[in-house]
């Protein structure tokens, strides 16, 4: 294939399939690089990688790569230098790449002791351009789904009515289509509130998302030094953390949910006595 981009140096488009979305802990299982050259040609490279850790099922359901698919693939450290050479002198581009793909790729290179720095590279994120150029607000949704201009935008009544019309149009447009929820489960889009809830609900325990449910359904902290640690474990081993949060500038809802978890813990402990 060819391209029409005006380039002074190669621009490497790339995408990663990974074990998860934690750029510090997760690993690459597959990457594809398409290097757009200044002359118009495109050179591609695709590489599967053994991540050295089990691929969680919820990740495999999204990208379709399972442990058996990469058991004979090389670890990243054995291909890192060749990949770095392939990317030598390239700017980098992707979709949501600045927030995820670039940070995770750099982490993998660092773990492999390969010097790969992005300081002198241009970083182009097509998702960011998409969001800048095509607003993702209620007015845009109303125009897209209902083909009408939202008159009186940001007035409560106009916005509420428009939201009702948008959701009504969405259930008509997408009924019967298969999509995936944030947890990776396949969901058939339907005019059913339980279905719609499963698509739009998050894993937050409190509304601010300071406490969330992990993949095992356990309540864990989602910030600070105890991020990803079970709340019950922290409260048992560091009781002062509860007092610190209650005195801190956290939402009342967060404090309420934390207190509910603590009371549940105390009830359980007292019940064993």
Ordered structural domains, the chain, with CATH: 11-130 (3.30.420.10), 138-200 (no CATH), 211-272 (no CATH)
Give the pLDDT of residue 230: 97
**Non-local CB neighbours of 16 within 8 Å, separated by 6+ positions:** 28, 30, 31, 100, 101, 104, 105
Cα-trace Rg, the chain: 23
Q: Is 170 helix (H, G, I), strand (E, B) or coil?
A: helix
Give the pLDDT of residue 271: 64
| pTM greater than 0.85 (yes/no) | no
- Read out DSSP for 102-158? HHHHHHHHHHTT-----TTS-EEEHHHHHHHHS--SHHHHHHHHH----TTTTSHHH
Give the pLDDT of residue 273: 54
**Non-local CB neighbours of 182 within 8 Å, separated by 6+ positions:** 202, 203
Give the pLDDT of residue 272: 63
Encode the chain (273 residues) as per-residue pLDDT tens digits.
788 899 999 999 999 999 998 888 899 999 999 999 999 999 999 999 999 999 999 899 889 999 999 999 999 999 999 999 999 999 999 999 998 999 999 999 999 999 898 888 999 999 888 887 888 899 999 999 999 999 887 788 888 899 999 999 999 999 999 887 766 678 899 998 888 888 877 789 998 899 999 988 999 999 999 999 999 999 999 999 999 999 999 998 999 999 999 999 988 766 665
């Amino acid at each position: 294939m060819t391209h029409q981009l005006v380039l002074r140096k190669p621009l490497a488009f790339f995408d990663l399939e990974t074990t998860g979305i934690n750029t510090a802990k997760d690993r690459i299982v597959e990457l594809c690089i398409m290097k757009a050259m200044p002359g118009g040609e495109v050179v591609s490279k695709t590489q599967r990688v053994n991540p050295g850790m089990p691929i969680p099922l919820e990740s495999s359901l999204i990208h379709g790569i399972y442990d058996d698919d990469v058991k004979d693939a090389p670890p990243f450290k054995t291909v890192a230098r060749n990949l770095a050479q392939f990317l030598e002198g390239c700017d980098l581009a992707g979709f949501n790449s600045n927030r995820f793909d670039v940070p995770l790729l750099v982490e993998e290179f660092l773990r492999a002791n390969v010097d790969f720095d992005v300081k002198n590279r241009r970083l182009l994120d097509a998702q960011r351009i998409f969001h800048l150029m095509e607003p993702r607000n209620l007015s845009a949704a109303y125009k897209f789904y209902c083909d009408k201009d939202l008159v009186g935008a940001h007035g409560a009544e106009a916005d509420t009515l428009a939201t009702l019309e948008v959701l009504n149009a969405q259930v008509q447009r997408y009924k019967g289509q298969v999509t995936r929820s944030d947890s990776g489960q396949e969901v058939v889009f339907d005019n059913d509130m339980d279905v719609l809830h499963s698509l739009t609900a998050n894993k937050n325990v409190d509304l601010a998302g300071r406490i969330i449910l992990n993949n095992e359904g356990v309540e864990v902290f989602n910030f600070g030094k105890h991020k990803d640690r079970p709340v019950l474990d922290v409260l048992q081993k560091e009781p002062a953390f509860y007092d610190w949060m209650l005195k801190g500038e956290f939402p009342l809802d967060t404090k309420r949910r934390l207190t509910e978890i603590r009371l549940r813990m105390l009830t359980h402990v007292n019940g064993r006595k």
